[in-house]
Amino acid sequence: MKLLFVADPIESFKIYKDTTFAMMREAHKRGHRISVCEQQDLLWQRGAPVTAHVRDITLTGQADAWFEVTQSRSVALKEFDAVLMRKDPPFDSEYFYATHLLEQAERDGARVFNKPSALRDHPEKLAIMEFPQYIGPTLVTRDEADIKRFHAEHGNIILKPLDGMGGMGIFRVGPDGLNLGSITETLNRHGAQSLMVQKFLPQIVLGDKRVLVIGGKPVPYCLARIPQGSEVRGNLAAGGKGVAQALSARDFEIANALGPLLAARGLLLVGLDVIGDCLTEINVTSPTCFQEIFDQTGCDVAALFVDALEQALNPAA
């Protein structure tokens, strides 16, 4: 198969932990051909299909110079067997425009994973609203009075921007309400921007679990990202410690309920964030943790993903 990865610059990959690299390595091992481009390399012109300025690469197996470029060219996306959208958040205007270009490529005949319209329809913070039976007390608002009311009701809360990633901009406010006003003003930009407020879940000390769902089926191991020291955030980008562990019964319950539904919408790979028994986010842009889980458990998540991709492209196989 010919695969195109739309991603961040591959020169910046930390290959010992990068999930997109793990996908590439597994696909390369199976003999699939790999091409890469960045979001800004996508192009559409009237009368022509969506194209991209791509680099065809081969993997060297070395730790440093891990790829070699064999050719640079412009090619229609429909010429690939699959296009994998792996651009990291934030989901900004340029990402939004890229999903429209990728959706036009679908009209040309390209197969894109995750499906561009599904990426737009499932913002990673707000997608949980569809599944209230699995989430804790949650509020989405830009109004300071509503946030104060929520705090008065729950006492210990988490506030976060809707467009954050990697734990960026997450604040905890305890029962004393210290700095609630200034935090709210910072996040809602004096009422101009919505934010999410959630009841603080003390089970965070056991980790913010990343539960991966591939082709509608849960991977049997998750990565619990455990906050370190006085930090409230478990995100690996914020210094959290990643500990792989078997899914709990509740993890399976949530993943089995959401997985088939999300897969039917074109989301081949989903990362569910679970704290304790509560779903907190649904990650669809570029879910990670493949290599951490494999290194600690031997569960080859990249192989499961490429299996699912091959199955999606050739259902009769």
CA distance 162 to 140: 9
* CA distances (Å), origin 204, targets 66, 106, 126, 195: 36, 40, 20, 20
Identify the helix (H) or strand (E) that includes residue 301.
Answer: helix 301-313
Which residues belong to the active site?
125, 160, 210, 225, 233, 273, 281, 283
Whole-structure pTM value: 0.95
Identify the helix (H) or strand (E) that includes residue 36.
Answer: strand 33-37
Peptide bond into 90 cis (omega under 30): yes
Domains of the chain are 2-114 (3.40.50.20), 137-200 (3.30.1490.20), 203-311 (3.30.470.20)
276: left (phi over 0), alpha (psi -120 to 50) or beta: left
Give the 3-state secondary structure of residue 245. strand
Tokens representing residue 275 in the block? 């704290």
- pLDDT (tens digit, 0 to 9) for every residue of the chain, 317 residues total? 999 999 999 999 999 999 999 999 999 999 999 999 999 999 999 999 999 999 999 999 999 899 999 999 999 999 999 999 999 988 899 999 999 999 999 999 999 999 999 999 999 999 999 999 999 999 999 999 999 999 999 999 999 999 877 778 899 999 999 999 999 999 999 899 999 999 999 999 999 999 999 999 999 999 999 988 777 777 777 678 999 999 999 999 999 999 999 999 999 999 999 999 999 999 999 999 999 999 999 999 999 999 999 999 998 86
Q: Are 277 and 250 in contact (CB under 8 A)?
A: yes
Residue owning tokens 């914020």? 238
Strands 2-6, 82-85: pairing kind:
parallel
